[in-house]
Amino acid sequence: MDENEILVSISMLTYNHEKYIRQALDSILMQKVNFKYEIVVGDDCSQDDTQNILNSYAQKFPDKFVLLLRDYNIGATNNSFDITRHCRGRYIANLEGDDFWIDENKLQIQVDFLETNKSCDAVAHRHQIVNDNGDFQYLSHAGIELDRYFTKEDALIYSTRLCHLNTLMYRNFFRGCIDDYTIMRDSNKYGSHSLMIYLLASRTDIYVMSRCMSAWRRVVSVQAHNFSSFAAKHPLLISKNNFLKYINYRNYFGGIYNFSGHIKDAFVDALFRIILSNEKGKLKEVGSLYGLLNPKEKIMVWFTFVYKLVKYTPVKLHSCFLKRINSKS
């Protein structure tokens, strides 16, 4: 190994993370490693003190930081795509500015695994879910056997539950590759979590360790800027995006994955939300989404729709009835 080679690039997205960014950066800098690494940070035009904090760290550790500080907001997927193109390391690890690592040996353990297992492109691990203050809530992967490889078929079953992005380390297959991977930028407006898992699993099986080495800060708040909070505020947008996302995945991956089940479920979910929304032009919008289904899916979605209608309508009516009773009491 060339001692001057950057072995690992840490890809970090930030946006209005002034409250959390120091903990994230310190969790990287505490890593005990025998190799050189870089921290490539893409800040998406934060409106708080995030960029000033990043600059202060870069001044203190100039050999470690590559800062991509945006003058205007380009969105999470564009930001992630651009960061990836700037990563020079043999391996890439991910960490967003509001998450953090909890094991000082995380990077070394994952590098050692990939250096030893040349036929594997990606290794991940269990993580903690913490609240806004960083307090432990629960562990990931409940009921899932770990310390083993997961296949393409597993990726379809578990999707983003297979591993969180802040647990991943993978070979930097973007360097010198014919595929420009613009699918990362164009397929999903609100992130590339599921796409990254499908990309990696299409190359080799993904190994997931049971050792817990990172924390995902799950925050749902009106004031927050993270994805979970946005999704809670805009369920219809997320629902339609999920459907279009899987249509894009099918067009890109072809026969490598069978996304029909995901597409069918995503369409029915979007259909319910459109019907219940106050949006104008509902019929036209449903028609535009319906036109993206293949002939078999155009039939099967109605079976799923009727099944969910029969199953969930009584529950919904009962809930509405209880609300009315309670409001009168």
List pLDDT tens digits, range 212-269: 999 999 987 666 666 667 667 778 888 999 999 999 999 999 999 999 999 999 999 9
Which one is predicted more confidently, 82 or 176? 82
Least confident piece of the model among 1-10, 165-174, 182-191, 207-216? 182-191
pLDDT reported for residue 36 = 97
For 125-177, the pLDDT digits (tens) are 999 999 999 999 999 999 999 999 999 999 999 999 999 999 999 999 988 77
Residues 89/9, Cβ–Cβ less than 8 Å = yes
Task: Label residues 149-166 b or e (16+ Cβ within 10 Å = b).
Answer: ebebebbbebeeebbbbb
Q: Helix, strand, or coil here: 177? A: coil
Amino acid symbol at 185: R
Burial status of residue 326 (CB atoms within 10 A of its CB: 0-12, 13-18, 19 or more) = exposed
Amino acid symbol at 159: S
- Please provide the average confidence, as pLDDT, over all residues in the chain: 90
- 270/243 Cα distance (integer angstroms): 7
- 250/258 Cα distance (integer angstroms): 7
Instruction: Return the beta strands (E) in the chain as ranges.
Output: 6-14, 36-43, 65-69, 91-94, 100-101, 122-130, 136-139, 148-150, 169-171, 206-217
Query: What is the mean predicted confidence (pLDDT) over 9-36?
Result: 97
- 177/163 Cα distance (integer angstroms): 25
Amino acid symbol at 259: F
Which one is predicted more confidently, 198 or 233? 198
pLDDT reported for residue 225 = 63
Query: In the predicted model, is pLDDT for residue 325 greater than 60?
Result: no
- 15/217 Cα distance (integer angstroms): 14
Residue ranges of domains in the chain, CATH in brackets: 6-217 (3.90.550.10), 234-328 (no CATH)
Residues 197/121, Cβ–Cβ less than 8 Å = no
- 265/243 Cα distance (integer angstroms): 8
For 291-315, the pLDDT digits (tens) are 999 999 999 999 988 888 877 666 5
**What are residue 145's phi and psi, to 5 degrees?**
-70, 130
Structure tokens at 187: 């397929």
**Angle of helix 21-29 relative to helix 50-60, nearest 10 degrees?**
20
- 267/139 Cα distance (integer angstroms): 31
